[in-house]
Amino acid sequence: MKKLLSILTLSLGVTFAANAAVVVIGNPSASDMSASEAKKAFLGKGNSSIVVYELDEGNAIRTEFHNTVTGKSDAQLKAFWSKQVFTGKGNPPATVATAAAMKAAVAGNPNAIGYIDEADVDGSVKVILKP
Amino acid sequence: MNFNLKALPIAISIALLPSAVLADESTEAKVAKLEQQVQSLQAQQTKSLADKFNFNGFISGAYISADNNAGYNGATTSADFSQDSKIGFQGTFNISNNTQAVLQLMMKGENDWDVEAEWAYLSHRFDNGIKIRGGKLRVPLFMYSDYLDVGYAQPFARPPGEVYDQVPFSSYTGVDLAYDFEFDDSTLTVQAFGGESDVEVESDTSSDTNLDLSNLMGINASWTDLTWTFRAVYGETVLDGTASGLGVDDEKATFNGLGGSYDNGSFLAVAEWTTVDIEGLLADTESAYLTLGYRISSFTPYVTAAYVKTTDNDVRGAIPLPELAAQLSAALNEERTAYSVGLRWDAIDNVALKFDVTYLTDFGDTTGGMSPNLLPLLMTGENMYDDSMVYTVKFDAVF
């Protein structure tokens, strides 16, 4: 039992460490964001002036981000957006292919937010949330 | 973002200038960065064009059969491929940032694939946040009303008929107003609606139904923190025409509903409780369901329990003509419980496969809503079918 527990703790620890690598970024002028604000923003609710960028579907960072922030798997996220689209409530955010493109998009618009691996952060953007 | 493409080269050369002068950062890195920015600007420009018009669609194909010919949801011992099969196309035109036109066209197997507009409206969001829509809209009585036909966005093979079949129309022509109250962690949406609709049901076994629904109006409130959702709704309308062989003369119908759901990403629970009350002899009903599901990677097994019962059997029983009382009681009294076990499998991108077995039972001394039971019940007091097992295999896709 003890062994099982320690394996469990270990694997939880590993998952946690992996999750901690994704950060929400904003324009250098942006202020910090709470986890619930981020969840709302990436599900199209709340402040409508925020411009959200996602990484392309299938990107591991995207999967990890949603796992942490919105709690939705790839398929659940698709089901969620199909509900929004077919009820006229909104469309999924624009997507970019790479961390570099994400930084460029966020750096170019004071209202934009996105997410990247913490290791890719540079001076062009600001980390506004470490989920 | 209105960025003029013609200005791009100038912007690039201006932007490039300092990088050529400054030698402390490698020119290559700067160029790479600028290329990214240009790409991003171009992407934004293309996006703003694509933003003007969105085209989406959904499709469902279903195989349904049953262990007998009770006829629940059109299911019999021979396979049916049209009852729950449908295809929908939606075009969204963004007229301005706050104004859009939405058209959703549906073709359903159960309606011989006739093209119908389920959504056809113009919407506008005022600066104060109030959103108004006018045109053909979905009647927002149930939790899944707004996306009743988009199976991909639902956990189960179909919303439980015990609840969802009690209102025989799903859209109306009119206006609605909605406002989102934003809290720190949650959103409360209040929606008021008003308009008119009609019900036309051609029946092989009993009389056709032809009703005008006027003064249709209601209000609903829905609160969600994106894990929990709670919803309350009230609606009313005035019925006029004929239904189940009865003349209906300006009878008022009211609808009450409560709903709730919980979804933490792996565990899923949905429940709804609704009542329909109609003046006169048409049936009043009370119905509810509870669905529980659990996601294991791409598989979501679920169970549902649902019931419906008529709550005004005494009204029909009290008709002074015994023969008419018996006939109307047999035709309109209803009692049924349904148990479902199912599985949603997110097999590939944008496609979910669903498997469902639903067992219908506990009809009491009613037909259980199964029309083949009507004559035997009237003649002998016994149903032809006391229960039914319905099998569904379905795919739901979005594109």
* Binding-face residues of B in 293-332 toward A, CB within 8 A: 295, 298
Q: If you average pLDDT over residues B24-29, what whole number do you get? A: 69
**pLDDT tens per residue across span B186-224:** 899 999 999 999 998 876 656 788 999 999 999 999 999
What local confidence, expressed as pLDDT, does residue B184 receive?
84
The residue of B1, B31, B33, B36 whose CB has the most chain A CBs within 10 angstroms, and thus the best one to mutate to test that interface, is B36
What is the ipTM score, two decimals? 0.78
Which CATH number, 3.30.360.10, 3.40.190.10, 3.40.50.720, 3.30.428.10, labels domain A22-129? 3.40.190.10
| Closest residue to A72, CB basis, from B123, B180, B265 | B265
Cβ proximity of A30 and A52 under 8 Å: no
- B40/A101 Cβ within 8 A: yes
Size of interface A-B (CB pairs under 8 A): 99
| Closest residue to A45, CB basis, from B187, B227, B295 | B187
Q: At what angle do helices A99-107 and B27-50 cross, to 10 degrees?
A: 70
The fold of B53-398 is: Porin (2.40.160)
Task: Tell me the sheet residues that pair with B253.
Answer: B237, B278
Q: Is the pLDDT score of B149 beyond 50?
A: yes
What is the DSSP annotation of B85-138?
A: -EEEEEEEEESSSSEEEEEEEEEEGGGTT-EEEEEEEEEEE-TTS-EEEEEEEE
Residue B307 identity (one-letter amino acid) = Y
**pLDDT tens per residue across span B216-256:** 999 999 999 989 999 999 999 999 999 888 889 999 999 99
* Binding-face residues of A in 59-88 toward B, CB within 8 A: 70-73, 75-76, 78-80, 82-83, 85-88
**pLDDT tens per residue across span B352-393:** 999 999 999 999 999 999 989 999 998 998 999 999 999 999
* Binding-face residues of A in 6-65 toward B, CB within 8 A: 34, 36, 39-40, 43, 45-47, 57
Cβ proximity of B131 and B117 under 8 Å: no
For chain B, domain boundaries = 1-51, 53-398
Max mean pLDDT among B46-50, B110-114, B137-141 falls in B137-141
What local confidence, expressed as pLDDT, does residue B309 receive?
97
Higher pLDDT, B139 or A7: B139
Confidence bin at B185 (pLDDT 50/70/90): confident
Chain A hits for B59, CB-CB cut-off 8 Å, are none
Pairing state of beta strands A112-117 and A51-55? parallel
Q: Is the pLDDT score of B43 beyond 80?
A: no
Helix (H, G, I), strand (E, B) or coil at B284: coil
How many of the other CB atoms lie within 10 Å of CB of B241? 18
Helix then strand then coil, in percent of chain A rounded to 5, is 45, 20, 35
For chain A, domain boundaries = 22-129
- Burial class of residue B290, CB neighbours in 10 A (0-12, 13-18, 19+): middle
H or E element at residue A19: helix A2-19
Q: What percent of chain B has pLDDT over 70?
A: 89
- A91/B398 Cβ within 8 A: no
Q: Is the pLDDT score of B15 beyond 50?
A: no
Q: Is the pLDDT score of B25 beyond 70?
A: no
Higher pLDDT, A89 or A65: A65
Question: Cα separation of B54 and B119, whole Å?
Answer: 15
pTM for this model (two decimals): 0.83
